Structure 1
């Protein structure tokens, strides 16, 4: 069983890029992404998806088995990484015409629960954002600047975070909508509704055999956590036109994504070459530490832009994905 899977998704050209006279610079096959017309080696991953592939295809082929394992008691994380306006939020959250990974995962969890004949389940949901390196509770907006703790049994966790019992996909969707209303967004030249924070939807799944519940026993309880992460996009001020508040937000976003890149870089090295793993350099790497360095299953979806105007940014994302892939290759 792969602990870490790394896939790449190439979005289609958008109207802004087409009007600017840009064109698609990349070629995508089943597992590789390469610069069209270049003799440089292709970037290779567990899977690569062109703009013709749906989010449902990505979920069914890459995420569904991870969600199944989480329902069986194994911690799991799915996160999307890429430059701003590369399709991360569309991939994770979707829109009215195409459900994202988050809603597909939630529907799958409750479908499994409905079909279970021997287990009883409890599902709890929490939703947080990391904005300018401050952790805020999106379900209780007055609950801000939360602290990250480490416990012998609970591991790394956010103290004081609201957990709400959920009984259906619609209930979870309502909680997400409530959280989104409290999230930080802002307009930039590249995205009219740009995510200015990282978010983590945390789904705690507890299961126990029905006969044990009926007998009032506390044994045989399995608890696992699914983290569904929408990272804010890396960005260059020259492209986004960011200034003032937006520039400060962008700097914080880039700093935390650099910390994530450094952690992935260290983890990809062998033995003594690793040195210290700087999980504590950012709130996002601290919270994701169990997923990146522990025994959890992790799916990394790197979203990239095909345009000739953003070749450097796409290469940067592909290099990040390649380093993450090397962690898996070494583990195998």
Structure 2
């Protein structure tokens, strides 16, 4: 991630995350506002790249890699698909908050959609039941 503009301006980090809580600190007076969400992921720093270019935690237990996000959000979608249910996953938030990164990913850091598709097709390849039929469709909508 490139935060050169913020670094050059000497901007402090005003966001902190712990568990499912996100805290925003007003840089002018230090006042804090804390918000609770179903999930709140930290991916600003505390990571390194492995030999495949995948971002992994670098001693920072707060860092959430793409596998963590998939485990928390995508695995349920995949499990429901195996039960024959349609599924929808919505990402919402402020511009630049990581919606596209979480859903699609970037480079070697695959997001929920490509991980889910990969898992589906791995299972299709293992299937030996010629009577079983699989159908997958994917719709991406930006609003």
TM-score range, shorter chain: 0.5 to 0.7
1:78 aligns with 2:89: yes
The alignment's C-alpha RMSD in Å is 2.5
Contact 1:26 1:33 (C-alpha < 8 Å) held by counterparts: yes
> In the TM superposition, what are the counterparts of 1:22-171 in structure 2 within 5 Å?
22-36=11-25, 37-40=30-33, 42-51=34-43, 52-116=63-127, 120-125=132-137, 127=139
Contact 1:13 1:23 (C-alpha < 8 Å) held by counterparts: no
Cα offset for 1:111?
A: 2.2
Runs of 4+ with >6 A deviation:
none
SS at match of 2:134: strand
Cα offset for 1:22?
A: 1.7
TM-score by length of 2: 0.67
Cα offset for 1:21?
A: 2.5
* Closer/same/farther in 2, CA of residues 18 and 43 from structure 1, 3 Å limit: same
Contact 2:92 2:99 (C-alpha < 8 Å) held by counterparts: yes
Which sections of structure 1, spanning at least 5 residues, go unmatched?
Answer: 1-11, 128-199, 201-228, 232-255, 257-332
Kindly tell me the number of residue pairs found equivalent between the two proteins: 119
What's the counterpart of residue 271 of structure 1? none
Cα distance in structure 1, aligned partners of 2:133 and 2:31? 52
Which sections of structure 2, spanning at least 5 residues, go unmatched?
Answer: 44-62
Contact 1:113 1:121 (C-alpha < 8 Å) held by counterparts: no
Structure with more helix by fraction: 1
1:15 aligns with 2:27: no
Cα offset for 1:99?
A: 0.9
Q: Which has the higher contact order (CA 8 A, sep 6+)?
A: 1
Cα offset for 1:76?
A: 1.0
